[in-house]
């Protein structure tokens, strides 16, 4: 069986699927600002679009590791079945993620202990924000 891949892999504030399997993703982010440590991120969603062999079944695992490489929560396991076109949407809700200190946390999606996608989540103290690019209005 062909291994699964992810064409989309995001962290967001909220995600849902409609009755006809349309994926909606709200508030994609890769940075979190906290007032102090230790802290918790109360709620986030890990979202993906899995691609592979039509009608195949896969066991995916999500891991969240802190700045020293330790798992911060138990692994999240999902069994997914790809559609006849070889795709499916994947959503995992994650609550109360412990944040022990500033730095880069790693969120991974694995199949058979092989990382198929990785995302970085940068955690910083509030007030230590990078400069935002200037936005300009276009003339009418």
Q: Which helix (H) or strand (E) holds 130?
A: none
The pLDDT of residue 113: 93
Whether pTM exceeds 0.85: yes
Q: Residue 134: what pLDDT?
A: 65
Q: Which homologous superfamily is 5-125 in?
A: Immunoglobulins (2.60.40.10)
Strands (E), the chain: 5-17, 23-28, 31-34, 39-51, 57-65, 76-81, 87-99, 103-111, 114-125
Using CA atoms, how far apart are residues 106 and 20, in angstroms rounded to an integer? 32
Helices (H), 3-104: none
Write out the chain's pLDDT in tens, 140 residues.
Answer: 788 999 999 999 999 999 998 999 999 999 999 999 999 999 999 999 999 999 999 999 999 999 899 999 999 999 999 999 999 999 999 999 999 999 999 999 999 999 999 999 999 999 865 555 566 666 66
Q: What is the pLDDT of residue 6?
A: 97
Residue 59: is the preceding peptide bond cis (ω within 30°)?
no
Torsion of the alpha carbons at 15, 33, 64 and 6, rounded to the nearest 10: 40
- What is residue 128's predicted lDDT score, i.e. its pLDDT? 62
- Residue among 39, 3, 6 nearest 23 (CA): 6
């Amino acid at each position: 069986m062909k291994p699964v891949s992810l064409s989309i892999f995001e962290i967001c504030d909220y995600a849902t699927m409609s009755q006809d399997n349309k994926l909606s993703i709200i508030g994609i982010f890769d940075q979190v600002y906290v007032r102090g440590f230790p802290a918790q991120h109360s709620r986030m969603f890990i979202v993906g679009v899995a691609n592979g062999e039509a009608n195949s079944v896969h066991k995916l695992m999500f891991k969240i590791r802190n700045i020293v490489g330790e798992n911060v929560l138990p692994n999240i396991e999902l069994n997914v079945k790809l559609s006849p076109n070889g795709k499916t949407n994947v959503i995992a809700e994650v609550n109360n993620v412990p944040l022990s200190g500033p730095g880069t946390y790693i969120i991974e999606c694995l199949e058979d202990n092989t990382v198929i996608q990785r995302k970085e989540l940068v955690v910083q103290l509030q007030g230590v924000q990078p400069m935002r690019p200037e936005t300009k209005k276009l003339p009418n």
